[in-house]
């Protein structure tokens, strides 16, 4: 109903731009756009194109068309791909059902100023200032065979608990490490949102006799919708793009295959092949797909 009314108004406003305005605008919009296109879109599109070729990444003349061969190789011949997929799914589920809710819960409790909330807040916030690579280094010191934990348990390297080398548990060890930081990150985001909620909403709910849980579910959660969207998107992205921490601990070996590592393993070093590009495209589609779908649904709800 509003489209016919807004259109003429918008065009009238555009005519009112002075030359200076237009110059400013084109600079402020143009330069970031240019950078975005050059640094994000062109490499992305080139990666997609290269994923259909064979190339060692050095001389342009060596590029040969491979069709779907790289994808076929990954999907039908590379067991590591399915191991990686499994690990990324575990990562996503763990973050989605444990770490992220834990962060939200923590933020909620801290916002209610439970006893010792300042301590919790700083304790959980601290890991967030560390990069994932540093997190990995710290935990590696703790858990490696000659590390702190095995030392405290009085175990030498010949009978050390194998935190990273036991393939049945290592993904969960990594999940604990990643959560250590992720919980604080989500807590921080959520806390910022909670501070912005009008306290009278909560008081009103309390006066109406709503339980804590009902208040959270019926009042806080809906009021926090914009933050929720960010939190969900971040959870998905963090789970799929995971790389740094695993790389710090395992390098490019397949000690814990995840998609991010497979991309790097196949595109870095002497073994460079466009199989790595194909992994990157798969990872890109997996990350962008659910996010676009989710955001579209959210925005559609907003419009209606």
Smallest separation (angstroms) from another protein to the CB of 168: 9
Strand, coil or helix: what is 272?
coil
Q: Which residue has the tokens 């709800």?
A: 301
Question: In the complex, what is the shortest distance from the CB of residue 89 to another protein, in angstroms, rounded to a whole number?
Answer: 19
Q: 240: which residues sit within 8 A by CB, 6+ positions away?
A: 88, 91, 92, 259, 260, 283, 286, 287
Which one of 61, 154, 199, 209 is in contact with another protein (CB under 8 A)? 61
Under DSSP, is residue 65 helix (H, G, I), strand (E, B) or coil? Answer: strand
Instruction: Pick from 44, 48, 52, 69 the residue near another protein by CB under 8 A.
Output: 69
Considering only 109, 140, 228, 252, the residue that binds another protein (CB under 8 A) is 252
Rounded Cα–Cα distance for residues 105 and 130 (Å): 22
Please give the residues from 159 up to 178 whose contact with another protein meets the rule CB under 8 A.
Answer: 159-160, 162-167
The neighbour count for residue 225, using CB atoms within 10 Å, is 13
Span near another protein by CB under 8 A; candidates 42-50, 104-112, 127-135, 249-257: 249-257
Q: Are 127 and 184 in contact (CB under 8 A)?
A: yes
Residue 58 within binding range of another protein, rule CB under 8 A: yes
Query: Should residue 275 be labelled a site residue for another protein when binding is judged by CB under 8 A?
Result: yes
Least Å distance between CB 82 and another protein?
11
Q: Which stretch binds another protein (CB under 8 A): 13-21, 74-82, 101-109, 195-203?
A: 74-82
Under rule CB under 8 A, how many of the chain's residues touch another protein?
48
| Structure-block tokens of residue 197 | 């909620």
> Binding mask 9-48 vs another protein (x if CB under 8 A, - otherwise)?
----------------------------------------
Q: Minimum CB separation from another protein for residue 129, in Å?
A: 25
Q: Is 87 in the site for another protein (CB under 8 A)?
A: no
Closest-CA residue to 140 (of 256, 240, 239, 238): 256
The residue among 66 and 110 lying less far from another protein, judged by its C-beta, is 66
Rg (CA), the chain: 24
The three-point CA angle 13-16-21 to 5° equals: 110
| Site of tokens 């065009």 | 11
Helix, coil or strand: residue 27: helix
Nearest-angstrom CA–CA distance, 89 and 259: 10
Binding-site ranges for another protein (CB under 8 A): 54, 56-59, 61-62, 64, 66, 69, 72-73, 77-80, 144-146, 156-160, 162-167, 250-255, 257, 262, 264-266, 268-273, 275
């Amino acid at each position: 109903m509003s489209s016919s009314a807004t259109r003429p108004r918008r065009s009238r406003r555009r005519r009112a731009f002075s030359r200076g305005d237009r110059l400013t605008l084109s600079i402020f919009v143009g330069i970031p756009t240019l950078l975005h296109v050059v640094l994000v879109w062109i490499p992305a599109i080139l990666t997609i194109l290269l994923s259909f070729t064979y190339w060692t990444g050095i001389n342009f003349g060596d590029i040969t068309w491979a069709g779907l061969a790289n994808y076929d190789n990954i999907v039908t011949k590379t067991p590591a791909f399915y191991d990686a997929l499994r690990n990324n799914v575990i990562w996503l589920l763990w973050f989605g059902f444990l770490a992220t809710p834990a962060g939200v819960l923590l933020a909620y409790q801290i916002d209610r100023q439970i006893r010792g909330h300042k301590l919790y807040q700083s304790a959980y916030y601290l890991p967030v200032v560390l990069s994932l690579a540093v997190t990995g280094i710290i935990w590696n010191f703790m858990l490696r065979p000659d590390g702190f934990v095995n030392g405290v348990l009085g175990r030498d390297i010949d009978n050390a608990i194998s935190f990273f080398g036991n393939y049945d548990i290592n993904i969960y060890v990594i999940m604990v490490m990643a959560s250590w930081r992720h919980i604080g990150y989500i807590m921080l985001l959520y806390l910022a949102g909670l501070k912005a909620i009008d306290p009278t909403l909560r008081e009103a709910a309390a006066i109406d006799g709503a339980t804590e849980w009902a208040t959270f579910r019926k009042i806080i959660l809906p009021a926090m919708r914009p933050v929720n969207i960010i939190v969900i998107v971040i959870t998905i992205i963090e789970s799929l793009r995971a790389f740094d921490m695993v790389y710090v601990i395992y390098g490019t070996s397949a000690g814990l295959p995840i998609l991010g590592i497979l991309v790097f393993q196949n595109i870095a070093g002497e073994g460079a092949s466009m199989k790595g590009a194909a992994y990157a495209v798969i990872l890109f589609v997996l990350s962008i797909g659910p996010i676009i779908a989710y955001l579209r649904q959210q925005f559609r709800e907003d419009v209606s």
